Amino acid sequence: MIQAIGLTKHYGSFVALHDLSFESRPGEILALVGPNGAGKTTALKLLVGSLTPTAGQALIGGFDVHHQPVDAKRLLAFVPDQPFLYEQLTVSELLSFIGGMYRMDPANLQRRAEQLLRTFDLEQVAGRQIGQLSYGMKSRLLLLVSLLHEPKAMILDEPFFGLDPQTLRLMKQLLIQRAADGMTIMLSTHQLPIVEDVAHRIAVLSRGRLLALGTWDELKQQHGGQRLEDIFFQLTGAPHRELA
C-alpha cells in the first residue's frame, strides 16, 4: 500500500535521504525511528507528496504520489506533528470543509462526523472555535480530520508528542484497531516504548540512510538487546555528550 523505491532527497550538496526502499502492507503499522536529523520527516513528506524527490518513487496504493497525485491522495491521510488548523472555524465547520474538499456526500459526512466526534470525545466542543480548544483536543481533532474520508493508508509525523495518558491510550488503541481493519499505517516517533507496543515493523534511519528494517523479534535476533532503546543506540551510536 505504501511503497518507497530508492527515495532520495538532496538539498544542494546535503543528502537528507539516500536510497530509501521499503514496502508497507495493508493492516501493518510501520514505525520510523531515528535521531533528530535522520531524515524521518523528509521521508514522510516525500511519501505524502509535500516534497519532490531528487530520485526514486513514492507509491500509495500503486499510484505515484508525484505523477498521479489525485489518485494517491484519495487513499491517503496525513497527520503532521503540530496541530495547525484554521483557528477561527468551529470544529463542525472544519469537518464540513474537509468533507467538501474530499467531495463527500453530506449524509455520509454527517454520519461519519458524528461517529468520529463520539469516538474522540469531541461532541461537546463541536460548535466551538478551534482556537479555543486545548492542545490535546486539537491533536485528537487532527486525527479525526484525517480519518473523515475513510483513507486506506495513513502517515503520522510524531503523533504521540504532548499527549496526556488518556489521549495517548486512545491513540494507541485507535491505531491498532484501524490496522486490524486493514488500514496501512506509517508513523515516525521518538517514543521507543510506544513503538514496541504498537508497531508490526520498525525501520531505523540515521543520517538519511536506512540502517535496519524488520519486526521487533527480527531486530532482537539480528542486533541483540532487550529493549528497542538498546538496539537504537547500538545502530545509531550512544550519546556521549557531557551534561551541563
The distance of closest approach from Cβ of residue 221 to other proteins in the complex, given in angstroms and rounded to an integer, is 37
The distance of closest approach from Cβ of residue 99 to other proteins in the complex, given in angstroms and rounded to an integer, is 6
The distance of closest approach from Cβ of residue 13 to other proteins in the complex, given in angstroms and rounded to an integer, is 17
Nearest to 146 by CA among 67, 83, 202, 206: 83
Cell 466551538 maps to which residue? Answer: 128
The distance of closest approach from Cβ of residue 192 to other proteins in the complex, given in angstroms and rounded to an integer, is 25
- Residue 99 or 236: the one with the smaller Cβ distance to other proteins is 99
In the complex, the residues that contact other proteins under the rule CB under 8 A are 45, 48-52, 69-71, 73-74, 76-78, 80, 82, 84-86, 88-90, 92-93, 95-106, 109-110, 113-114, 117, 123, 125-129, 131-134, 137, 145
Taking the CA of residue 89 as centre, how many other CA atoms within 13 Å lie in the half-sphere pointing to its CB?
A: 13
Q: 17: part of which helix (H) or strand (E)?
A: strand 14-24
Q: How far is CA 163 from CA 102, 123, 152, in A?
A: 28, 19, 25
Q: 110: part of which helix (H) or strand (E)?
A: helix 106-119
- Residue 125 or 198: the one with the smaller Cβ distance to other proteins is 125
Nearest to 188 by CA among 97, 114, 98, 79: 79
The distance of closest approach from Cβ of residue 181 to other proteins in the complex, given in angstroms and rounded to an integer, is 21
- Residue 128 or 190: the one with the smaller Cβ distance to other proteins is 128
Q: Which three cell numbers, joined as nine digits, stand for 228?
A: 528497542
DSSP 151: -
- Residue 33 or 65: the one with the smaller Cβ distance to other proteins is 65
- Residue 63 or 160: the one with the smaller Cβ distance to other proteins is 63
Nearest to 154 by CA among 236, 241, 42, 44: 44
